[in-house]
A = this chain, B = another copy of it.
Amino acid sequence: MPLHEHPAATDAARELIAARGGRVTRTRVAVIQALQRSAHPLSHDELGAALDGAGIAHDRVTLYRALDWLVEQGIAQRIAGGERAWRFEIRRDGDHRHAHFHCERCGQIVCLEDVSAAAPTLPAGFAVARAELVLHGACADCGREGVERKER
């Protein structure tokens, strides 16, 4: 059992899962909590590290499948980031259509809560399910003068 687990947060995660008729498993609970605690979207790798940190055994495939399920259920959402790997974040109430900033120096993805992708006019017949706006550049930390470029 993970040390110092917060009961209230755990219960919220468990309910979120049970409400969808899914089985409440260590992996799913831990993934939801990790996503909820994080200020920015997490990659599969970062989530794996979080599970390790929580003392929860898992394997790559299990994590992929847990994430697939969460996305399918609308609990989490997948975003495309700047690199090849997907990143995941919890879907907050409402549509939560915020934009993301990808720092090309440190690789970090930051949520831009108050920036939303405007739905533009489209050719006839096109139906938009969701819009993804990603800004690429240098974040506040990396953009400062004198800051060493981090290897990445």
Contacts and interface: CB of A to CB of B under 8 A. Distances in A.
Interface of A: 80, 82, 84, 99, 101, 104, 112, 114-115, 117-141, 143-144
Given A129-B136, A138-B129, A112 B122 contact: yes
A120 B99 contact: yes
A125 B140 contact: yes
B139 A80 contact: no
Contacts of A99: 120
Contacts of A114: 121
B143 A129 contact: no
Contacts of A121: 114-115
A133 B117 contact: yes
